[in-house]
């Protein structure tokens, strides 16, 4: 099934309505779809490098709007499903403690998930479930998704097809290492 979705996504990159397809994929990936928009965005930028930043902008806007849907899925499902399950098992107090901790560091969670290969949709839904401050969620989402999509666009615009392999195979690792170094740096500054 995933292979079929991947093939469909690649075919969309070549279609005349590719920007619309990118918007749909970026929107859906932020709340429920398993294929990241990068799979569509990369071939689109290689085919039209002069539109690299427009393509990244479409991915950014659609992804953040999809994140809003993910947030509201988490919020709505929690009230309908999550809370009754927690009450049944007597775990509402423990979830309350988790919620406080998550919301204290929620901006970091959104930033990390928005930049790294960690599924952003998980964090959008969790943010809604814990009622993370919506403004914090939005700012962190715009920064994270903007960094992710515009860095990819800038690399492809500057270096073209030769950088494609690096982006597809190693950019997630580079983003993850960057986040680890960034968080580690803040940790060292705070505790040293």
The pLDDT tens digits of the residues spanning 135-173 come to 999 999 999 999 999 988 998 899 887 777 776 676 666
Contacts by residues 97-104 (CB-CB < 8 Å, ≥ 24 positions apart): 98/130, 99/130, 99/131, 102/126, 102/130, 102/132, 103/130, 103/131, 103/132, 103/133
| The predicted structure's pLDDT at residue 32 | 82
Which regions of the chain are under pLDDT 70?
1-3, 5-7, 9-10, 167-168, 170-192
Q: Residue 103: its pLDDT value, please?
A: 92
pTM (predicted TM-score):
0.79
- DSSP-assigned letter for residue 117: S
Q: Where are the domains of the chain?
A: 2-191
3-state secondary structure 16-62: CCHHHHHHHHHHHHCCCCCCCCHHHHHHHHHHCHHHHHHHHHHHHHH
């Amino acid at each position: 099934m995933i292979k079929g979705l991947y093939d469909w996504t690649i075919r969309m990159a070549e279609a005349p309505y590719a920007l619309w397809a990118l918007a749909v994929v970026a929107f859906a990936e932020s709340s429920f779809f398993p294929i990241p928009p990068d799979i569509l965005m990369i071939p689109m930028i290689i085919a039209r490098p002069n539109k690299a930043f427009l393509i990244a902008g479409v991915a950014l806007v659609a992804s953040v709007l999809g994140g809003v849907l993910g947030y509201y899925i988490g919020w709505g499902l929690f009230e309908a499903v999550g809370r009754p399950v927690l009450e049944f098992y007597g775990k509402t107090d423990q979830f309350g403690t988790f919620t406080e901790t998550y919301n204290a560091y929620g901006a970091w969670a959104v930033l990390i998930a928005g930049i790294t290969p960690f599924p952003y949709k998980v964090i959008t839904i969790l943010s809604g479930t814990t009622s993370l401050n919506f403004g914090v969620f939005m700012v962190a989402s715009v920064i994270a998704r903007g960094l992710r999509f515009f860095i990819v666009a800038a690399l492809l615009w500057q270096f073209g097809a030769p950088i494609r392999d690096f982006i597809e195979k190693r950019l997630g690792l580079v983003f993850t290492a960057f986040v680890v170094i960034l968080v580690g740096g803040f940790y060292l500054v705070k505790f040293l």
